[in-house]
Amino acid sequence: MQESIYKEFLQLAGFDQEEIATCLPEWIVAAKKLGLTAEDMHYAVREWLPKHWNLELAGIRKCIGLYIREVMEITKLHQHKQNGIKVIFGSLPALPFIFQAIKRIGGNEVFVSYPDICLVTVLGSFFHKPSVFIEKVDSCTIHAGCSHCGLVKTRLGAKMTQLIPSPDVIWSWGIACNEAPKMDELINCYLNTDWNAVFSSVPHDTYLGEVEEENEERCAYIAAQIRDGQKQIEKVTGIVVSEEQIRSSLEFVDRFMRKVHYLHDLACHADPQPLSGNELSLIGQMMTLPFNTGFAYVEEALDLTIKEVEMLIAQKKGSLPAGAPRLGCYFIPFCVPWVERMFRENGVNLSFSTFYAATRKLMKPTKYQDPYEIMAAKMLRMPGIVNIAYELDLTFEIIKELHPDAMLQGFYNFDRWMGVHHRITTKGMEEEMKIPHFYIEGNMWDDRAYRTEDLKTRVESISHFLKMNKMIS
């Protein structure tokens, strides 16, 4: 009886019968390591997944499945290390250009992953248990009263519980999340472990409004940081990546980004909206992950989703009736997917995340020829990486492209930097774009500090305003 519910979960996650026969025993073992029980599987299959994800779409089921595959592999990391496989972790931004090149060359002799974000995504988005590993660190150095990112807390918790071993090397960036390198140092100090980290960072010292990717000195500096990080990883792993292999990886990731952009273009211009913001953001996140299981399955899931969305548009089908208001968001909290569901139940689509909406500008070729400078320039076209005024300009471009009725900021109250950042940008966007902007306190990774009852009135008020505003306009 218990085994059947694990099997049913894999079926919902897009595994075919042959894959289930192979993966079922591994999934049962992996689930136990993740702190998931048969009751959790039952809850996910019967209630949580159907409420928050469109399981009628095979592409979305496959998207869920690819995260499950990745987490299953993460639970085998101790065994992989014992077998001599080199383990490389990343942190935001986990440059897929480099990691996929390393994986292509190293094959089964290397394991690349961003375990924190995979664990939080699977546990929060699909089981409503995002804090399985976060809770482990609340009682030690990083208690619940302090504001810390759920990703870095998950990394520490996963190491404290021995779910993951120390990697051969982790490439730790401080450009998007300045807490990531600090956490890697804390893991070494607090756990007295051999947590080997390569640190890369870039000071946020540009002029407000400067178009950073056009600053050749800045691009050269970031390119040097990428080169240096790659060289340090080569020394540890023995896996040498050539410039030609980097170019090939750039072309592949560019193609993937174009497909993500096309999917956003389809979903956000169709009426009714065929995909939820949760689903678009879950897919957009794939652009930032070094999947050890490879991008072939990821691209297959994306292609299938695009095909199904085109069919839904032709049939004029959506999660809400045509004309429903659309609310863009800096980062839709898809690891706390009931937020999107609550808006949907009030007749409003959470439409897209600006953090994951690949813009037309991101798709354009850069002026650089060196592959490392191309990577640097692409990084500097992404919101969240650049100075706040230029980020506003990038966000304006996204809003003009995707045409939301309003924008929603927030869900970063754990972040000393981004939390303040959101309060500032909310006013700037409203003044420039002339559409309503709203702000909600919350945590996009972990909902223990707030529940549906806490947000009910806020969501209802925003939704009522948007529907009335649309009727008037």
Residues in the chain: 473
- Give pLDDT tens digits for 99-119: 888 998 899 999 999 999 999
Query: Does the pLDDT value for residue 189 go beyond 70?
Result: yes
Q: Which residue has the tokens 């969240």?
A: 384
Cross-strand bridge partners of residue 217? none
Query: Does the pLDDT value for residue 459 go beyond 90?
Result: yes
Rounded-to-integer distance, Cα 250 and Cα 386, Å: 21
454 backbone dihedrals φ, ψ, rounded to 5°: -70, -35
Judge contact between 390 and 212, C-beta under 8 A: yes
Residue type, 140: C
| Band (146; pLDDT cuts 50, 70, 90) | low
| Band (217; pLDDT cuts 50, 70, 90) | very high
Rounded-to-integer distance, Cα 254 and Cα 174, Å: 24
pLDDT of residue 419: 66
Q: Which residue has the tokens 């170019």?
A: 247
Q: In the predicted model, what is the mean pLDDT of the chain?
A: 90
* Lookup: tokens for 125: 């988005």
Task: Enumerate the domain spans of the chain.
Answer: 244-472
| Band (252; pLDDT cuts 50, 70, 90) | confident
Residues of the chain with pLDDT > 90, as a percent, come to: 59
Query: Does the pLDDT value for residue 78 go beyond 90?
Result: yes
pLDDT of residue 355: 83
pLDDT of residue 27: 98
Query: Does the pLDDT value for residue 1 go beyond 80?
Result: no
Instruction: Work out the end-to-end distance of the chain between its first and last CA atoms, rounded to an integer number of angstroms.
Output: 55
Judge contact between 287 and 261, C-beta under 8 A: no
Query: Does the pLDDT value for residue 144 go beyond 60?
Result: no
* Lookup: tokens for 210: 């400067």
Q: In whole angstroms, what separates CA 442 from the centre of its chain?
A: 17
Judge contact between 177 and 149, C-beta under 8 A: yes
Residue type, 92: L
405 backbone dihedrals φ, ψ, rounded to 5°: -80, -20
> HEC string of the chain?
CHHHHHHHHHHHCCCCHHHHHHHHHHHHHHHHHCCCCHHHHHHHHHHHHHHHCCCCCHHHHHHHHHHHHHHHHHCCHHHHHHCCCEEEEECCCCCHHHHHHHHHHHHHHEEEECHHHHHHHHHHHHHCCCCCCHHHHHCCCCCCCCCCCHHHHHHHHHHHCCCCCCCCEEEEECCCCCCHHHHHHHHHHHHCCCCCEEEECCCCCCCCCCCHHHCHHHHHHHHHHHHHHHHHHHHHHCCCCCHHHHHHHHHHHHHHHHHHHHHHHHHHHCCCCCCCHHHHHHHHHHHHCCCCCCHHHHHHHHHHHHHHHHHHHHCCCCCCCCCCCEEEECCCCCCCCHHHHHHHHCCCEEEEECCCCCCHHHHCCCCCCCHHHHHHHHHCCCCCCCCHHHHHHHHHHHHHHHCCCEEEEECECCCHHHHHHHHHHHHHHHHHHCCCEEEECCECCCCCCCCHHHHHHHHHHHHHHHHHHHHHC
pLDDT of residue 143: 60
Query: Does the pLDDT value for residue 53 go beyond 80?
Result: yes
* Lookup: tokens for 167: 């990697």
Judge contact between 102 and 233, C-beta under 8 A: yes
Judge contact between 197 and 191, C-beta under 8 A: no
Residue type, 463: S
- Order the strands of the 169-173 sheet from edge to edge: 110-113, 86-90, 169-173, 197-200
Bond prior to 93 in cis (omega within 30° of 0) = yes
Burial class (CB in 10 A: 0-12, 13-18, 19+), 340: buried
pTM above 0.85, yes or no: yes
- Give pLDDT tens digits for 263-311: 999 999 999 999 999 999 999 898 888 888 877 888 999 999 999 999 9
Where is mean pLDDT largest: 202-206, 310-314, 426-430, 447-451?
310-314
Q: Residue range 203-209: average pLDDT?
A: 88
Rounded-to-integer distance, Cα 292 and Cα 164, Å: 15
Rounded-to-integer distance, Cα 73 and Cα 80, Å: 9
Query: Does the pLDDT value for residue 259 go beyond 80?
Result: yes
* Lookup: tokens for 157: 């918790």
* Lookup: tokens for 284: 């957009």
Q: 117, 109, 102, 155: which is closest to 295 by C-alpha? A: 102
